[in-house]
Amino acid sequence: MAIRYIPFYPEPIEGQAVLNNFKRTLRYHGTDKLQDDLRRGMPLYELEKKEDVGTPGDNLVIRGECISACAYLREQGKKVDLVYIDPPFASGADYAKQVYIRRNPKLASEIKAAEQELEDEELRSFEEKMYGDVWDKEKYLNWMYENLTAIKSVMSGNASIYVHLDWHIGHYMKVLMDEIFGEDNFQAEIVWRRMTPSGFKGKYNIGHSHDAIFWYSNSNEYTYNPIVVPYSQKYIDERFSKVDENGRRFKDEKIGTATPQSTIDRLEKEGKLYTTSTGKLRIKHYLDEATGIALDDVWTDIDAVNSQADERVDYATQKPEALLERIINASSNEGMMVADFFGGSGVTAAVAHRLGRKFIHVDIGVNSMQTVRDRLRAAKAGFSVLEIKDGVQLYRNPVQTMDKIKQLIPGLKNEDAVDEFWEGVIEDSRYGMMPVYVPNLMDDTSKLLTKDLMNRILREALPDLPNNVKRVVIYYIDIEDEDSIRKFIAEDDSSDIEIELRDMKALLDDMVLEDKADFSLEGGEQELSYTVRIKSFLSDRLAQKISEYNQKALANAKKKYIPIALSEEGLETIEALSLDCTASEKGAVWHSDAEIKIDKLGYVIRDGVKTTDFWDGTISSEKKPLRLKIRNICGDETIYQL
């Protein structure tokens, strides 16, 4: 449950015309509820510090939702100077992480002896769903309005925000941003051509090769550093086509009729005058003295991240570092705070660190947290990892939590007699068919059980149920005021159907089973280092995932399918290991005093440094390790006391 609610604005918003212009310009379902949410404020939850990496300073990596992270930043009095976000595009697509089985360490010596390399096509892998970008348009607009309003509340006076979208929803978002940030603070719609045009797509379609990035400032005083783009080779060949006696390329232009003689004399002394074959004087402009072309709002010189790029981290929706480098250089200075509230692969934080800025990375997915954490540590950045205890990321991410919830509710099954508002029904010996409501974790607006939501259940959902329904079950993650809502239900006489409230957190408290590992601690005392040797590793969730994948692949295979098989030891399902030699207490902030990560080809990345060594099943440290953390290839982490 939220500790309290933090106002979106510095002053109370009661009475402000928050949505007047927007509702007049673009009317859609749900704006009245949104106005109630804005009046209530941003939910502030407890935060747990999970890890400190290096010297954190002000740098933060936060697992949680955008609005809750903004509530924390507001409460702490923190302001950001530049925001870049790449939120879901409402594209209707599902995004997944490709999970690779690592090379069995027992085979490492044989591979090395034979001087073999593991090719990409030999890798065994399966997909792990990260999130679904499937939205009802009205819910998406409400959600993004609330997110953008929360972000605005933590932006400094001279800050800018860049919102990266595409053709699916960008035109609606432009209207939202006009309302939130003001039409006068619209600075540019940047067209980024992310790929070479793909040409004709059929009779009724053309290819989509660009995204739109909307840039707004927070006021008429904002940071902007003019950007100059180097000339293309084509431009150089066409414009700087002449070469002088010293081999210097130049272009020439005529001398204006109003040019004073003193200027002409100076240019002649500098060797900047050029005489044509007809005897006319023209001014030389040397290529090696030119700075380039001033940046405009169409960017065609930055490619999307390709499969062979060094910066690729195998994360769906990853954006190129060059794109963020341009934005960060243009709208911030060294030492300023750069934030990304839909941080994904961590490109914003990584580039901000490289350019001497401070950073805040926020995302709800565990894969994002691990990707950015590893990326930043390899870049020698210092930061703190925090987790917002809001109950939404009860499992790995909202998509997988929703799937798991359906499995954990005893007796839950689909029933055509109830509409889509209900997740399904439970058959009860006393009450018969009991419809079950489960809040959608992908929709932030439904996670809080309020009087307004309960009123809609009483007035709209219950009357549509079959006549034989005597009782319904309402699950919630967060509740506005349980006593007042129970009183509200008791005083309502519109229906004879009983309502049972259930806390979803109680359902999920013991949901994640820890992975099992057998290991030994070697060395120490007379030896200069300690070694933890992993003898075996078993992840029940991962084994079930692989089994389900094999069954599906076998059923759909058009040719012979070789199932993914794991060794008896199971070490090929380990992605990363870390040793804490500082803290031994259960639940203490993690200090990674030594760590290794195994890439998909089986090579070791030791303390952020890539090597050509295969993993041998061990991890070592100079000091005595107190705790061991193992991350499996799906991203689940388990901590073991040594």
* pLDDT tens digits for range 60-110: 999 999 999 999 999 999 999 999 999 875 545 555 667 778 877 866 555
DSSP 262-311: HHHHHHHHTT-EEE-TTS-EEEEEEGGG---EE--SEE-S-PPPPTT-TT
Give the contacts of 117 (CB within 8 A, at least 6 positions apart).
601
Instruction: Give the residue from 200, 634, 624 showing the smallest Cα distance to 396.
Output: 634
Is the pLDDT score of 24 beyond 80?
no
Domain 4-93+133-224+297-388 shares a fold with domain 398-508: no
Among left, alpha and beta (phi > 0; psi -120 to 50; other), residue 444 is alpha
Half-sphere exposure of 135 (CA within 13 A, CB side): 21
* Architecture of domain 398-508 in this structure: 3-Layer(aba) Sandwich (3.40)
Q: What is the pLDDT of residue 53?
A: 94
- Are 306 and 141 a contacting pair, CB within 8 Å? no
Give the contacts of 596 (CB within 8 A, at least 6 positions apart).
576, 577, 604, 605, 606, 607, 615, 619
Point out which residues pair with 502 in neighbouring strands: 475
Q: For the chain, give every domain's residue range.
A: 4-93+133-224+297-388, 231-291, 398-508, 516-641
Is the pLDDT score of 292 beyond 60?
yes
Mean pLDDT, residues 575-591 taken together: 93
Mean pLDDT, residues 510-528 taken together: 79
C-alpha span between 187 and 227 (Å, rounded): 15
Lowest mean pLDDT among 345-349, 420-424, 540-544: 540-544
Mean pLDDT, residues 20-24 taken together: 48
Instruction: Give the residue from 429, 404, 433 showing the smallest Cα distance to 416.
Output: 433
C-alpha span between 612 and 615 (Å, rounded): 10
Indicate the DSSP class of residue 600: T
Mean pLDDT, residues 241-269 taken together: 87
291-295's contacts with Cβ under 8 Å and 24+ in sequence apart are: 291/228, 292/228, 292/229, 292/230, 292/231, 293/228, 293/229, 293/231, 293/235, 294/226, 294/227, 294/228, 294/229, 295/226, 295/227, 295/228, 295/229, 295/326, 295/330
DSSP 68-114: HHHHHHHHHT--EEEEEE--------EEEEEEEPPPPGGGHHHHHHT
Q: What is the pLDDT of residue 187?
A: 96
At what angle are helices 137-152 and 66-76 packed, to 10 degrees?
10
Q: How confident is the model at residue 299 (pLDDT cuts 50, 70, 90)?
A: confident
Which pair of structure tokens corresponds to residue 445?
């607006």
* pLDDT tens figures, 165-224: 988 788 888 988 998 998 899 999 999 887 765 555 555 567 777 889 999 999 999 999
Q: How confident is the model at residue 588 (pLDDT cuts 50, 70, 90)?
A: very high
Q: How confident is the model at residue 118 (pLDDT cuts 50, 70, 90)?
A: very low
Is the pLDDT score of 585 beyond 80?
yes
Instruction: Give CA torsion, residues 385, 391, 394, 397, to 10 deg.
Output: -70
C-alpha span between 538 and 516 (Å, rounded): 5
Name the amino acid, one letter, at 293: I
What is the residue whose two structure tokens read 């059980």?
449
Is the pLDDT score of 116 beyond 60?
no
H or E stretch covering 235? helix 233-239
Coil, strand or helix: which one is 141? Answer: helix
H or E stretch covering 606? strand 603-606
Is the pLDDT score of 21 beyond 80?
no
Q: How confident is the model at residue 513 (pLDDT cuts 50, 70, 90)?
A: low
Instruction: Give CA torsion, residues 593, 598, 604, 607, to 10 deg.
Output: -20
What is the residue whose two structure tokens read 């489960």?
438
Is the pLDDT score of 22 beyond 90?
no
Where do the H-state alpha helices sit in 379-460? 398-408, 451-456
CA distances from 585 to 406, 581, 626, 640 (A): 35, 11, 9, 11
Q: How confident is the model at residue 481 (pLDDT cuts 50, 70, 90)?
A: confident
Higher pLDDT, 396 or 217: 217
C-alpha span between 11 and 97 (Å, rounded): 43
Percent of residues, the chain, with pLDDT higher than 70: 83
Mean pLDDT over the full length of the chain: 84
Q: What is the pLDDT of residue 258?
A: 82
Instruction: Give the residue from 505, 517, 523, 382 showing the smallest Cα distance to 438.
Output: 505
At what angle are helices 366-378 and 347-354 packed, to 10 degrees?
20
Q: What is the pLDDT of residue 590?
A: 95
Does CATH number 1.10.238 belong to domain 516-641? no
Q: What is the pLDDT of residue 319?
A: 87
Q: What is the pLDDT of residue 13?
A: 44
Is the pLDDT score of 596 beyond 60?
yes
CA distances from 90 to 109, 173, 266, 397, 443 (A): 48, 11, 60, 18, 12
The 3-state secondary structure of 21-75 reads HHHHHCCCCCHHHHHHHHHHCEEECCEEEEEEECCCCCCEEEECCHHHHHHHHHH
Q: How many C-beta atoms lie closer than 10 Å to residue 566's C-beta?
A: 18
* pLDDT tens figures, 25-74: 455 555 566 777 788 889 899 999 999 999 999 999 999 999 999 999 99
* Architecture of domain 4-93+133-224+297-388 in this structure: 3-Layer(aba) Sandwich (3.40)
Q: What is the pLDDT of residue 68?
A: 93
Mean pLDDT, residues 260-265 taken together: 87
Half-sphere exposure of 210 (CA within 13 A, CB side): 13
Q: How confident is the model at residue 581 (pLDDT cuts 50, 70, 90)?
A: very high
Higher pLDDT, 480 or 127: 480
Instruction: Give the residue from 594, 583, 580, 569 showing the smallest Cα distance to 628.
Output: 580
Among left, alpha and beta (phi > 0; psi -120 to 50; other), residue 525 is left
Point out which residues pair with 530 in neighbouring strands: 523, 621
